[in-house]
Chain A
Amino acid sequence: MEKLAIEPALSSPSVMFDPDSGLLEIGGESYPENSFEFYAPIISWLKQYLAEIDGPVTLSINLSYLNTSSTKCMIDLLDELEAAFRAGRTVAVEWFYDDENERELDTIDEFREDFSMPFSAVPRKEPA
């Protein structure tokens, strides 16, 4: 299975999903012109990866801002991982935040409430 690599833009994040290491990274800001179009291939890649390749998987998120439609897409992405976790897979989500901006931690906490898989909030060293 090929890596999934998307270059960052002003309003859309960089994506680097590596099927060999199981490390899925997404970072930047997310308010693309059409979030559903932007996230559709990312969600299909993840579905295929979870179905075809075994092993631990870590989703590392370094997003400082998501608009509402990106938030909806992120829930869909996390739902896929949660289902894999409930089926016995080793899954971890880590989400980086700016500890001087309480809104970023608020955002992560709201996501975390809805999932039972390991989901950590990590203070960021450098700006996203």
Chain B
Amino acid sequence: MADFDLYSLRNVFTEYGVMICFNGPFSHSVIEELGIAVRKYLESNDAPKNCIADVFAVFIEQAQNLKNYTSSGPFSEPEYARFKNGTLVIAREGDRYIVSSGNFVRDEDCPALEQSLSSVRVLDKLQLKALYKERLRGASPAAGGGAGLGFIDMARKASDPLAFSVRRLADGSAFFNISVSILAG
């Protein structure tokens, strides 16, 4: 740890316009406190109210997805210890805010995740609204306590199609990352 260079890490954040970053286990109280910080930061940057509302909403859906996934079922076993840590950043890139989060996922969960996001990212705003309403009526609680509506809601608030990647790792797990961009103006 002695040669860990926090300064270079900070320079990476600056280079990519990262305003807020959290890395660690997502508890409900962490989500609440970060949420307050996100809003205050955007208010102090004079972001318009609807933009603050969209960034906040996407932040909440990503953070609660992370928490629900990493706290469900098998992840209480010691072999999954590192799965508990998620990473979430909010950055500014040109005229957009980027809300991006990542966490380890089990290999067997990847196909459903990729399928779900691939199908959502090609829809236009009207199709997204229709799908959202359909799911709202049909949805029963997902295992982690969510409604299974998060990706659709993020896509509706995004200014570009959702970006995501799944990086397969040698140990049979994968790292999942989703990024949502929201017009700042």
Contacts and interface: CB of A to CB of B under 8 A. Distances in A.
Given A10-B32, A100-B49, A114-B133, A71 B147 contact: yes
Interface in A61-113: 65, 67-69, 71-72, 75, 98, 100-104, 110
Interface residues of B, dominant DSSP: helix
A71 B136 contact: yes
B61 interface: yes
Contacts of A115: none
Q: Which of B50, B136, B149 has the largest number of chain A CB atoms within 10 A?
A: B136
A45 interface: no
B106 to A, nearest CB: 22
14 contacts: A10-B32, A36-B141, A65-B53, A67-B60, A67-B64, A68-B147, A69-B64, A69-B147, A72-B139, A75-B136, A75-B137, A102-B50, A104-B53, A110-B133
B145 interface: yes
Interface string B115-143: 00000000000000100010011010100
Given A31-B60, A68-B150, A69-B145, 11 more contacts: A10-B36, A11-B31, A31-B64, A36-B145, A65-B57, A71-B147, A72-B139, A72-B147, A75-B136, A100-B49, A114-B133
A104 B52 CA distance: 12
A7 to B, nearest CB: 16
Nearest to A36: B141
Interface residues of A, number: 23
B137 A68 contact: no
B146 interface: yes
A35 B136 contact: no
B82 interface: no
Contacts of A114: 133
Nearest to A34: B145
Contacts of B145: 33-37, 69
Q: Which 4 A-B pairs have the closest CB atoms?
A: A68-B149, A101-B49, A33-B28, A69-B147
